[in-house]
């Protein structure tokens, strides 16, 4: 049993550790609280059972093409602002390091109930693991004239505040908290450590396949307007709050069907709001004014794009489009033709899908993470996950590293992505690096410097490489005169990609 500021909770002992699931850190965000900032939960009398995962935030299911690779369980109920704790030593006095996990899912899917995120290995190795649910999609990241922006991010901040106030009762040290996330969770992590309200709540941060970024406000507004047009209601929070929840989810899925990380398009994202996100977080972190004492562990997978393009056969479709796809990537990345020419020279045998995928990955992830490490060299450690999945065509794709970080490669949901027979030795090494970073800030390889030391996790075993992505990333710094972003032929290329029958089936 453990006591929180709102009441006592009783968990379970599993695998030698105490597990508490479904603990509310904020009130249910429905009824009068819908589209409002998170509020504290109502206190309860007696001891609340914390044996099962709490409700997950409303979200549409993955398409059939993606569901064969990704798990996304749904737990019904309104009290979706909850978290889970795995700890080896419940009770005050232990003062163990804490890792707070923010799941990925493009801010529209995912939850803390995904089996790959089981925290038993972290607890086994002396780290208190906290995993968090937060609002998703239009209810978490819609932009309205009559509601606060970034509600899902505000939920995450409320969970961090709960950890600061409560984690000592679970054996954790509130002064030694590592905030970690993957994909959208990594983006959120980077934005939060730059937020003035989060100062003092985080000592270290892990950014897996996501860089601190904000979305264009008009891009988010277009997504809301698309939904409003389909629903035939005004584009206001008050109007959306009156829409049936299932209808809202179906409409959200339909409105975002042709948007993707590779092709772009309207979608939900974190925006500058003048409050929680006062300015661009990457700039704030890079100039040294934000999170000056926060150490960083950050990196990517070698073939991020393959999870975005392989399901549904989009790799073959992009390869057939050839120059049209490359023109679309130029528009997506706002670059001139010399960048794809440089990629072609470095990868002469690559197809269009690989060139497009690697260009967009570098634009979205590797380039900003490189710049962040360059700005904070002594506080940054960088990695690349390069072990290829045993499933056909996936390579070292987006999300593949998760089963290795959590040492949960044996669960069926991890096997969906990695295939049968993933190397346990690689999980042992990678998981230990994350434990060491959360414990003492040193994952086991040199911090960033002018030689760009990068820990590579691959089939030959982890090794240190210096500047493995420098040649590609140097292409982005060469001076050029780009054609306007609104160039009609490049925009037409993007539109042709989005009208693809393959995309319509996703």
Q: Which residues are catalytic?
A: 183, 304, 398
Encoded tokens for 365: 């992830």
DSSP E strands: which ranges in 121-247?
A: 128-132, 172-182, 204-208
Task: Report the candidate in 42, 5, 67 with the shortest Cα–Cα distance to residue 417.
Answer: 67
Among 296, 128, 275, which Cα is nearest to 212's?
296
Count of beta carbons in the 10 Å neighbourhood of residue 198: 21
Q: Can you say how many angstroms the Cα of residue 448 is from the centroid of all Cα atoms in its chain? A: 23
For 275-304, letters b (16+ CB in 10 Å) and e give ebbeeebbebbbeeebbeebbbbbbbbbbb
Q: Which residues pair with 466 in a beta bridge?
A: 453
Distance CA 117, CA 102 (A): 10
CA distance 338 to 321: 19
Helix (H, G, I), strand (E, B) or coil at 423: coil
What is the per-residue DSSP string for 84-97?
Answer: EEEESS-STT--EE
The single-letter DSSP state of residue 483 is P
For the chain, what's the residue count? 506
Q: Give Cα separations from 327 to 140, 331, 444, 487, 495 (angstroms).
A: 33, 6, 41, 10, 11
Starting at the earlier edge strand, list the strands of the sheet with 380-385: 12-14, 17-24, 82-87, 128-132, 96-102, 172-182, 204-208, 295-301, 380-385, 453-457, 463-466
What's phi and psi for 22, nearest 5 deg?
Answer: 70, 30
How far is CA 69 from each of CA 62, 126, 212, rounded to the nearest angstrom?
Answer: 10, 31, 26
Query: Under a CB-based contact definition with an 8 Å cutoff, are residues 115 and 7 in contact?
Result: no
Which residues lie across from 207 on neighbouring strands?
A: 181, 298
Residue 123 token pair: 């607890």
The dihedrals phi and psi of 246, each to the nearest 5 degrees, come to: -65, -40
């Amino acid at each position: 049993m453990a006591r929180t500021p709102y009441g006592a909770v009783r968990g379970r002992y599993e695998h030698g550790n105490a597990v508490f699931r479904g603990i509310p850190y904020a009130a249910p965000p429905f009824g009068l609280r819908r589209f409002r900032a998170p509020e504290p939960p109502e206190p309860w009398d007696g001891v609340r059972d914390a044996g099962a995962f709490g409700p997950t935030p409303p979200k549409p299911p993955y398409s059939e093409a993606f569901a064969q690779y990704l798990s996304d369980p749904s737990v019904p109920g309104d009290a979706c602002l909850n978290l889970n704790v795995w700890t080896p030593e419940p009770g005050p006095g232990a003062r163990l390091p804490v890792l707070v996990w923010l799941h990925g899912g493009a801010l529209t899917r995912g939850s803390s109930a995904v089996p790959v995120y089981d925290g038993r290995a972290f607890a086994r190795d002396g780290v208190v693991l906290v995993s968090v649910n937060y609002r998703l999609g239009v209810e978490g990241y819609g932009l309205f004239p009559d509601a606060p922006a970034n509600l899902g991010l505000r939920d995450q901040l409320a969970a961090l505040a709960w950890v600061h106030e409560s984690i000592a009762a679970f054996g954790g040290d509130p002064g030694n908290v590592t905030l970690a996330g993957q994909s959208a969770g990594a983006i959120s992590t980077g934005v939060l450590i730059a937020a003035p309200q989060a100062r003092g709540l985080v000592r270290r941060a892990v950014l897996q396949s996501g860089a601190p970024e904000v979305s264009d406000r008009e891009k988010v507004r277009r997504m809301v307007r698309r939904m409003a047009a389909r629903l035939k209601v005004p584009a206001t929070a008050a109007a959306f709050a009156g829409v049936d929840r299932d209808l809202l989810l179906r409409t959200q899925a339909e409105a975002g069907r042709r948007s993707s990380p590779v092709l772009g398009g309207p979608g939900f994202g974190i925006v500058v709001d003048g409050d929680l996100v006062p300015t661009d977080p990457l700039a704030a972190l890079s100039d040294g004014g934000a999170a000056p004492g926060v150490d960083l562990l950050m990196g990517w997978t070698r073939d991020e794009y393959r999870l975005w393009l392989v399901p549904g056969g989009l790799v073959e479709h992009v390869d057939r489009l050839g120059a049209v796809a490359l023109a679309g990537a130029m528009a997506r990345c706002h670059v001139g033709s010399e960048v794809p020419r440089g990629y072609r020279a470095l990868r002469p045998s690559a197809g269009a899908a690989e060139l497009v995928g690697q260009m967009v990955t570098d634009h979205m992830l590797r380039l900003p993470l490189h710049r962040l490490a360059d700005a904070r060299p002594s506080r940054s450690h960088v990695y690349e996950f390069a072990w290829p999945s045993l499933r056909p065509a996936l390579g070292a794709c987006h999300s593949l590293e998760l089963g290795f970080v959590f040492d949960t490669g044996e669960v069926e949901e991890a096997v969906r992505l990695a295939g049968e027979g993933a190397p346990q030795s690689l999980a042992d090494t990678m998981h230990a690096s994350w434990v060491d970073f959360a414990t003492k800030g040193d994952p086991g390889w040199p911090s960033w410097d002018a030689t760009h030391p990068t820990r590579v996790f691959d089939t030959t075993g982890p090794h240190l490489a210096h500047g493995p992505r420098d040649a590609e990333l140097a292409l982005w710094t060469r001076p050029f005169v780009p054609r306007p972003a609104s160039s009609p032929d490049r925009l037409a290329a993007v539109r042709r990609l989005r009208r693809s029958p393959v995309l319509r089936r996703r």
